[in-house]
Chains A and B, each alone.
Chain A
Amino acid sequence: MILQDSNLLKIEDLSVDYKSPSGNVPALRDVSLSLKQGEILSIVGESGSGKTTLALAVSRLLTTNTSMMKNGKIIFRGRDITNLKAGNLDKLRGTEIFMIFQNPFMSLNPLMRIKDQIREAIQVRDKRSGQKESYPKILNQVTDVLKAVRIGDAGDIMERYPHQLSGGQNQRIMLAMALVERPSLLIADEPTTALDVTTQAQVLLLLKEIIKETRMSVIFITHDLAVAGSISDRIAVLYGGMIQEIGSSKQILYEPKHPYTVSLIKSIPSKSKGEGYLDAIKGSFQSKGIENMCAFYPRCPLAHDECKRKIPSLMSIGKGVYVRCVNYGEAAEDVAIE
């Protein structure tokens, strides 16, 4: 992949293993990515594809007793953060890299009122920039930021505890904290998966607005191609810990090249009852036995002998699209999205 200096984040050949008594299990294999300032990149994959591991690796939240970063580099703002020590990491997280997880209840302190959680975020930011603000001034900021994330009754909500709010409201509190910190990189790991469809649409719209306003870069992790398509500039499809296809959202959704991407799009239910079966992908993801072949080989409708000889390399096929498949051309024939 061609890497330029305008990149905020560069990941080079990142490989991560999880330790287990019966040998190491690879979670990420030679993942290379770059992310520009203000760009939104979605990482799409099913469970076990390594998408959350990638998020944790970038924010350096992987613990060394369960996982092992075998090789690779993470370069953030031109600085190698792969082996950064704990003290320096603290300065990075929150202000520079901010993470939002699937379940906001796990991220918020259950014993703190909403206003105190956000106040804390403001104070951390102030401390780093060497400012000091009076309490009423901070409270004013809390109200402002709550209004910015469309919390209707800010005065009432800020006095409450996380358990008294709905999932959508809590996720908006997380966004409010992100808005306070104004990080240069936001990593959102399935931020709307636990929410209802109507709330999901609201939170996604809000997130899009915040991204536009703050011009932060975003890594958006999701299992839902439709959600990814609605929010991102580029999409990377992960399977078996490897990037199988990466390119602009339009390219991935309308002209998918990799058989996995094609199958994934085709397996989204679009038929009515009585119109026949859905195009299901056969089998399920297996992490064993795919070390030296294409990870999708056991399930691929186009698999042939060459696919199991070695891992295909990620090839550039123009228009900024990269595909890891020996016969990428054949897969795209019969997919059409209106």
Chain B
Amino acid sequence: MPAEKSSSFLEIDHVIKRFSQRKSGFWISLIGRRKPSGFVSAVDDVSLEIKRGQTLVILGESGSGKTTLGRMIVGLEKIDSGLISLSGDPVRFVRDRGVNRGKLQMVFQDPGSSLDPYMSVASCVAEPISKFGLTKLQVAAKSAESLRLVGLEGDILDRRTLELSGGQKQRVAIARAIISDPEIIVLDEPTSSIDVSIQAQVLNLLIDLQRIKNLTYVLISHDPNVAKFMADNIAIMHLGKVVEYGPSASLLSCPKHPYTKTLLASAPKLGSTLPEGVVGAGDPQSIILLPKGCRYESRCQFAMEKCREKEPPLLPLKEEPEISVSCFLYND
């Protein structure tokens, strides 16, 4: 969003990520020549910015590119084109060692597979800062501090992570993320693999930590309820593009893009019946054979001739400039 540049902290500037698709098979693998046969545009020309201490929620379905974008923010994925910068310094790919050290952290969806099952809780949490040149005492103090912040204490610290429950594992993952005093934490669906009764605990904890440590969050989610509770701003992603962006309250109460409307209406709400009519028929557009027009056109009930021919740009609304929508219904 081309707003005033000085206040932004993390800037994502026209970022593109493509994954090449290769033909595979027995004979091809023998010959050894595996030329890319096509591309999947996982993230296609995304620009966003986040202010310090705020939370941006990226909301979208699977295949929308939200996780790929999150991975690029922390440098886990190489950026094909464009730039992500943190207070002016570009974020580098992790293999270029040492550049982003400790400033960027990520909490993954499934703590069961992101934590080493045979490590004790204490050593698992201390691991990220083990190469920071701190003394043993300093490391111990820091890990005790971050474990205390996430509410893990007592004999649990000597247990192996595989012995913990889902909620406890996610607390360990969060403690591991905050120990290096990061500036940004990317939370990739942090509560989708844990029970609703535990989800509220973890979300409360994240809000607390943000306040205490002035953290900036990028939260990746598919749940509008979680988004509402966590977000300052929300970006709706659909097939690699941001289709709507704006402040949480106005975006959720008055969604503009037809896809946002469908997404919000489809989320199950307590005491409401299924949203007939609003739910778009048909399956999502294939991400490999993208149309030249709008990517949502095949499922959109408002599709016009124009939508088939040209891709709508993401532009701020005339009357509400803090909201940007990429739909011809709002800008021509």
Which residues of A pack against B, CB within 8 Å?
46-47, 150, 152, 166, 168-169, 196-202, 204-205, 208, 223-227, 229-231, 253-254, 263-265, 267-273, 277-282, 284-285, 337
- CB neighbours (8 Å) of B47 from chain A are none
Check B196 against A267 for contact (C-beta < 8 Å): yes
B229 part of interface (Cβ distance < 8 Å) = yes
Chain A's nearest CB lies how many Å from the CB of B210?
10
B195 part of interface (Cβ distance < 8 Å) = yes
- CB neighbours (8 Å) of A277 from chain B are 204, 207
B267 part of interface (Cβ distance < 8 Å) = yes
Within the assembled complex, what's the spacing in Å between the Cα atoms of A272 and B165?
28
Q: Which residue of B lies closest to A167 (CB)?
A: B62
Check B203 against A264 for contact (C-beta < 8 Å): no
Check B197 against A267 for contact (C-beta < 8 Å): yes
Within the assembled complex, what's the spacing in Å between the Cα atoms of A43 and B310?
48
Check A273 against B279 for contact (C-beta < 8 Å): no
Check A196 against B270 for contact (C-beta < 8 Å): no
> Can you list 25 contacts pairing A with B, beta carbon distance less than 8 Å?
A47-B166, A196-B62, A196-B222, A197-B61, A197-B222, A197-B267, A198-B61, A200-B266, A201-B265, A201-B274, A226-B268, A226-B271, A230-B272, A231-B274, A253-B270, A253-B271, A254-B271, A267-B199, A268-B200, A268-B225, A269-B199, A269-B226, A271-B229, A273-B230, A281-B201
Check A265 against B203 for contact (C-beta < 8 Å): no
Q: Select which of B195, B226, B275 is within 8 A of A201 by beta carbon.
A: B275
B68 part of interface (Cβ distance < 8 Å) = no
Check A202 against B222 for contact (C-beta < 8 Å): no
Chain B's nearest CB lies how many Å from the CB of A330?
20
B288 part of interface (Cβ distance < 8 Å) = no
Within the assembled complex, what's the spacing in Å between the Cα atoms of A268 and B166?
18
B55 part of interface (Cβ distance < 8 Å) = yes
Within the assembled complex, what's the spacing in Å between the Cα atoms of A229 and B272?
8
Chain B's nearest CB lies how many Å from the CB of A185?
22
- CB neighbours (8 Å) of A253 from chain B are 270-271
Q: Select which of B55, B196, B207, B271 is within 8 A of A224 by beta carbon.
A: B196
B262 part of interface (Cβ distance < 8 Å) = yes
- CB neighbours (8 Å) of A279 from chain B are 200
Instruction: List residues 147-182 of chain B with CB under 8 A from any CB of chain A.
Output: 165-168
- CB neighbours (8 Å) of A272 from chain B are 228-229, 248-249
Check A269 against B229 for contact (C-beta < 8 Å): yes
- CB neighbours (8 Å) of A268 from chain B are 196, 200, 225, 270
Within the assembled complex, what's the spacing in Å between the Cα atoms of A270 and B268?
12
Interface residues of B toward A: which range? 35 or more
- How does the 8 Å CB contact mask read for B260-284 relative to A, with 1 for contact and 0 for none? 0011011111111111100111111
Check A224 against B226 for contact (C-beta < 8 Å): no
Chain A's nearest CB lies how many Å from the CB of B172?
14
Known: A47-B166, A196-B62, A201-B266. A273 touches B274 (CB 8 A): no
Q: Which residue of A lies closest to B272 (CB)?
A: A230
- CB neighbours (8 Å) of B279 from chain A are 198, 201-202, 205
Chain A's nearest CB lies how many Å from the CB of B286?
10
Q: Select which of B168, B225, B265 is within 8 A of A269 by beta carbon.
A: B225
B198 part of interface (Cβ distance < 8 Å) = yes
Check B268 against A224 for contact (C-beta < 8 Å): yes
- CB neighbours (8 Å) of B276 from chain A are 205
Check A280 against B201 for contact (C-beta < 8 Å): yes
Chain B's nearest CB lies how many Å from the CB of A289?
15
Check A223 against B195 for contact (C-beta < 8 Å): yes
Within the assembled complex, what's the spacing in Å between the Cα atoms of A224 and B222?
15
Check A226 against B200 for contact (C-beta < 8 Å): no
- How does the 8 Å CB contact mask read for B200-218 relative to A, with 1 for contact and 0 for none? 1101100100000000000
Instruction: List residues 278-319 of chain B with CB under 8 A from any CB of chain A.
Output: 279-284
- CB neighbours (8 Å) of A264 from chain B are 196-197
Check A265 against B270 for contact (C-beta < 8 Å): yes
Check B197 against A281 for contact (C-beta < 8 Å): yes
Check A198 against B229 for contact (C-beta < 8 Å): no
Check B263 against A197 for contact (C-beta < 8 Å): yes
Known: A196-B222, A205-B279, A227-B268. A269 touches B203 (CB 8 A): yes
Q: Which residue of A lies closest to B273 (CB)?
A: A230
- CB neighbours (8 Å) of A281 from chain B are 197-198, 200-201
Within the assembled complex, what's the spacing in Å between the Cα atoms of A54 and B81?
52
Within the assembled complex, what's the spacing in Å between the Cα atoms of A227 and B223?
13
- CB neighbours (8 Å) of A224 from chain B are 196, 268
- CB neighbours (8 Å) of A204 from chain B are 274
Within the assembled complex, what's the spacing in Å between the Cα atoms of A278 and B273?
24
Chain B's nearest CB lies how many Å from the CB of A184?
24
Check B203 against A196 for contact (C-beta < 8 Å): no
Check A168 against B196 for contact (C-beta < 8 Å): no
Q: Which residue of B lies closest to A226 (CB)?
A: B268
